[in-house]
Structure formats: structure tokens, C-alpha cells
Amino acid sequence: MNAWRWTMIPRAPLLRRALFLIAFIGLTGPVVIRAWADDDEDRALTAQREARQQREAAECRQRLVRLDLDATQARRLLPIVEQAAQLQIEMYEQQAQFLPELLSAFTAFADEDRLNQGFSKDVERRAAQLSHRESEARDKVNAQLITLEQETAHILTPSQLDSLQAPHGATRLAPAQTKSNGPRRPAADVDRLPALRQELEAIHALKHPRSGPLARCLFHPAAIEPLCQTAGRPPSETLRRALDVAARGTAEYPLEPVERQRAEVGRLRKEINNWNLINGLHLDGRQTDRIVALYDAATPPTARQGKASARPAGTMLASLERAVEDVLNPGQRQVLADYKACLIPPKNLKDPVRVGQASDHSPYEQWLEKARRQTGARLERAIGEVLTREAQHNGALTDPEKQQRATALRVAARKAAALPDSEFELSKAVLAERIAATDRPKELQKELDAIVRSRGQPGRLAQFILNPDFIEQLRQRGEQLAAGVQPRPADLASGPQAENCDKSCALPPKKTPRQK
């Protein structure tokens, strides 16, 4: 009875009531606040998704209007669209199933990246494998969508195709021509920018195929209803399901949590890319503080509160870029110029060649090592493999170019074979350097950067460093550097022990197999 009285608020005296309320708020407050915060986050995500869907749907409908399909065309298109819808449903389910694993792998990877003490093998392997699997699955679906897109292109008339941009694969992008080494005129540079970008995109598309505007229009869920109306047919079961998945997800994988996970994976990817660059630049405390201070000075305090707008723009950004560039040393500027955003940091940043390290052979040195022992068909196969790898990285070569490259490789392999082992060992770095293919994307990127900079526009530094997320992470790194590291006490006894001479130094005669 007493207990009952104690807990019953109306019967308790005022003080008890107050205490009870404080305890109640104390216990439930954080949960409620977190729920509100989560709710806000969810709502923001939902709003973002809806806005994106609406924008895409509007674009898709506009394109459909421009296409002006007739009923026959729509009827012929529907089975293809249905196949694409089936693919998209499968991809959604596959991704949804995969995302939690990816999220946990990326979280572990980002945690280690933040510490800048290298990666444990398991964490690195898991993140790399999962990321690779994800991108492979996406590429596979995209390749299938491209095939379907090409089928749709056959149904449309040339004028309809012209009304959109050319579909992927329908016309081959002309590679940007390399200019002579003569002085560049600004007007030519301006003309050259789109060509450079186009070639870079085309090279990128070789590795990661992307469907074109026709697919983005016809295979979008927003196209289903108008297409069915034009064809005079109701949407099939698959198409209805595709609409459902786009709006709500599946019963097993509802859309909202999947979207949340997808956004988190995207955020982690960005965070990891930023850490990779911060770790690779090895900015010291003074440089870190200076860059953060320059950024803060260029950004009004009010803008800093709302992240999206917290980035200086235009000439302000360009002058900030120059100021930040002065903080970096030539080595750091070189790293930045060569930097490619990637989940696993590039080798030169992750694992630079160490003092006294014996094994640092380039891939071409390794190739020469093998190729000098091969002749005839085996050598030709080895040359073919190099050409394939280079084409994947640099874009396809024309037949005469291919032959020229194969001859160069063949000559180098024969020259290497003719050298005695010891002389080859000393010459292989030079030989490898001579046959190494130029890194076309890197060359294009450098040219593009030079043009952009010559026009006083913000360049790579602004792109990678001068954004609120990077600066926030840099601020964290500054704090880490200032705090220093408290070394743990050495525990030499528990770890592995070196072999020593305490008992005897002499190594017994090595036994031959017969003696054993």
C-alpha cells in the first residue's frame, strides 16, 4: 500500500512529485531527444529523397514529351522497360542485403583511417573486397542496362534520338587530341576543356559503364505510367512492383532504412577519402592550424553554422586556394596534384618506399623479369596482357598504335633477355621506365587543371581541401596532433623474442637430404 502511495503522483507531496518528474525527465529525456533528432534526420533524408525523385521524374517526363512516342513504339518499348525494371528491383534487393555489411566494414576502416597508423589487414581486406563486390555488381547491372538501352535506340527514330543526347555506346566519343607543345592560346583552351572532360569520362566509362540519357529517361519509374498510357496497356505485375519498390521498397527491405544506410555509406566514403588525403599530405600541426585559420577567415561565421553554404565561392575561393597552396611544401603540392580519391589510399601514400627496403619493383620491372624468360607464343601472350591492362586504364588504342606498343614491349623483352642476370638487375629500372605507358587520365587531368588555373578558377586544392567536411576533419587532426600520443609502456617480455647467442652462436652444419 505504501509503495503504491509513493509512486502515485497525485497523492504524493509536492517535493516528491518534483523529484519524480526530474528523475523521469532525466531518464527519458535523452531517449526522447535522440528520437527527435533521429526523426529529424529521417525527415531530412526523406525530404531529400523525395526532392531528388521529383526532380528526376520531372526531367524524365520532359524527355518523354520531347520523344513524342507513338503507340506502336510504346508497345515495343514496354517489354524492354519491363526487363530493366526487373533488373532494378533485383539490384535494390541485392544492395539492401549488402548495405549493413558494407556499412560496418566502412565504419571500421574509417576508424583506423582517422588514427593514421595504417590499417589492420582484416579491416583493409574486408573494406576493399566489399567495395569491389558492390562496384562489380553495379557495373554488371549497368552493362545490362546499356544493352537494353541500345535495344531501345533501335525502336526510336533518328530525330527522336537527337532530341535526347546520343545514348551510351550509340556513338563513340572521339578522344581528345593531344596538342603540340607550343604555347597555348586562351581561346583554344576554352574549346579544349569539354574535349578533355569528355575523354576523361570515356576512359572512366571503360572501367565503370554508365547508362546514357535514354536509359535514364525510359527506365525511370516515372516513365512507366506515361508509357503504359501511350501503349494503351495497363502496367504489368513487374512494372507495378517496380513502382512500389521505388516508392516504398520491399516488404523485407523498406525504403527508408535502406536510404539511410546508403546515405551513411556515401558519407563514410567521403570521410575516408578526406582522411586518405589528410594522412597522405602529412601536414604538421602548424600547417594544419594555418589552413583551418585561412578557411575560417574566408568564411563568414554565420555561414559556418549552416554547413551547405559554408564554402567561399568564386574569386574568394580562388584567392583562398592560392593562400593555402603557399602553406604546402613542394612535396605536398605534388601529392595533391597526383591525388585520386579512392577507398584504399594509393600505394605512394599508403606505403611509400622505405629507407633500406629491398622490394620496391614497379609493375613493368616485374613484367620484364618474367618476359625476358619467355619466347614465341608465351611472350606474345604476355604482351597481349599488358596491352589489355593498358587499354583498361588509358582507353583503347588504334591498331597501328597497338602494333607500335607491342613492338616496343617485344624489343624491351628481347633486350632484357640478352643481358646477363646481374646486368639486367641493374638495368631493369631504366628499361621499365622506357616501356612504361603514359598515364593518359593523369595527363588529361594535369592539362585540365592547368587550363582551369590559367583562367584564375579554383583548382584541385579547392576541390579536395576547401570544403566544410574536409576542414572539419582537418580540425580534428589538428586536435589529434596537439594532444600527441601517450606511448604505452614497453612490454618486451610478452612479445616475440629475437634469437640470440646466449647459449651458442655457432650454427650446425646444414644437413643434406641424404643425411636427414
Partner 1 sequence: MSTHRASFGTPPISRRDFLAAAGRCATTSCLAGALGPLVTPAHGAQPPPWVREIDYYNQLPEQKIQCFVCPLHCVLKDGETCFCRTRTNVGGKLFTRAYNNPCILRIDPVEKLPLNHFRPGSKTVTIGVGGCNVRCIYCQNWEQSQKMPDELKTFALTPDDAVAYARKQKIDTIAFSYTEPVAFLEYAKDIATAAKKARLHVVVATAAFVDPDPLIEFAKYVDAFVVSLKGFDEDFYHRVCGVKLAPVLRAVETVKKRTGSWLELLHLIVPTYNDDPAKIQQLVAWVHEHVGDDVPLHFARFVPMYKLTDLPRTPVQTLEAACAAARQAGLRYVYTSNIAPHEGNNTFCASCRAAVIQRLGFKIMEDRLHDGACAKCHQRLPGVWK
Q: At what angle do helices 14-67 and 255-281 cross, to 10 degrees?
A: 90
What is the smallest separation between the CB atom of 516 and partner 1, expressed in angstroms? Answer: 11
What is the smallest separation between the CB atom of 286 and partner 1, expressed in angstroms? Answer: 8
What is the smallest separation between the CB atom of 431 and partner 1, expressed in angstroms? Answer: 12
What is the smallest separation between the CB atom of 28 and partner 1, expressed in angstroms? Answer: 41
**Distance, CA of 87 to CA of 242 (rounded, Å):** 10
**Distance, CA of 85 to CA of 227 (rounded, Å):** 13
The smaller minimum CB distance to partner 1, of residues 154 and 514, is found at 514
Sign of CA dihedral 447, 319, 475, 470: negative
Contact predicate 278/477, CB 8 Å: yes
The smaller minimum CB distance to partner 1, of residues 75 and 475, is found at 475
**Distance, CA of 343 to CA of 166 (rounded, Å):** 32
Contact residues: partner 1, CB under 8 A: 115-118, 121, 281-282, 284-285, 287, 329-332, 334-335, 351-359, 420-423, 425-427, 429-430, 480-481, 484-485, 487-493, 495-501, 505-512, 514-515
The smaller minimum CB distance to partner 1, of residues 187 and 506, is found at 506
**Distance, CA of 194 to CA of 212 (rounded, Å):** 18
Ranges of beta strands (E only) in 152-235 are none
What is the smallest separation between the CB atom of 181 and partner 1, expressed in angstroms? Answer: 23
The smaller minimum CB distance to partner 1, of residues 314 and 496, is found at 496
Closest CA to 129 of 107, 113, 106: 106
What is the smallest separation between the CB atom of 127 and partner 1, expressed in angstroms? Answer: 17
What is the smallest separation between the CB atom of 398 and partner 1, expressed in angstroms? Answer: 35
The smaller minimum CB distance to partner 1, of residues 154 and 516, is found at 516
Closest CA to 265 of 116, 127, 413: 127
Closest CA to 134 of 94, 87, 85: 94
The smaller minimum CB distance to partner 1, of residues 185 and 514, is found at 514
Question: How is 49-105 classified by DSSP, letter by letter?
Answer: HHHHHHHHHHHHHHHHHHH---HHHHHHHHHHHHHHHHHHHHHHHHHHHHHHHHHHH
**Distance, CA of 85 to CA of 261 (rounded, Å):** 22
**Distance, CA of 296 to CA of 472 (rounded, Å):** 11
The smaller minimum CB distance to partner 1, of residues 31 and 430, is found at 430
Q: Is 216 helix (H, G, I), strand (E, B) or coil?
A: helix
Give the N- to C-terminal CA distance of the chain in Å, as an integer: 89
What is the smallest separation between the CB atom of 95 and partner 1, expressed in angstroms? Answer: 33
What is the smallest separation between the CB atom of 297 and partner 1, expressed in angstroms? Answer: 23
Q: Is 109 helix (H, G, I), strand (E, B) or coil?
A: helix
Closest CA to 116 of 303, 277, 251: 277
The smaller minimum CB distance to partner 1, of residues 253 and 424, is found at 424
The smaller minimum CB distance to partner 1, of residues 136 and 351, is found at 351
The smaller minimum CB distance to partner 1, of residues 183 and 509, is found at 509
241, burial (CB in 10 Å: exposed 0-12, middle 13-18, buried 19+): middle
Q: What is the CA radius of gyration of the chain?
A: 30
The smaller minimum CB distance to partner 1, of residues 265 and 349, is found at 349
The smaller minimum CB distance to partner 1, of residues 1 and 430, is found at 430
What is the smallest separation between the CB atom of 448 and partner 1, expressed in angstroms? Answer: 23
**Distance, CA of 187 to CA of 437 (rounded, Å):** 30
Residue count (the chain): 516
Closest CA to 441 of 181, 210, 204: 204
**Distance, CA of 278 to CA of 495 (rounded, Å):** 32
What is the smallest separation between the CB atom of 220 and partner 1, expressed in angstroms? Answer: 46
What is the smallest separation between the CB atom of 318 and partner 1, expressed in angstroms? Answer: 24
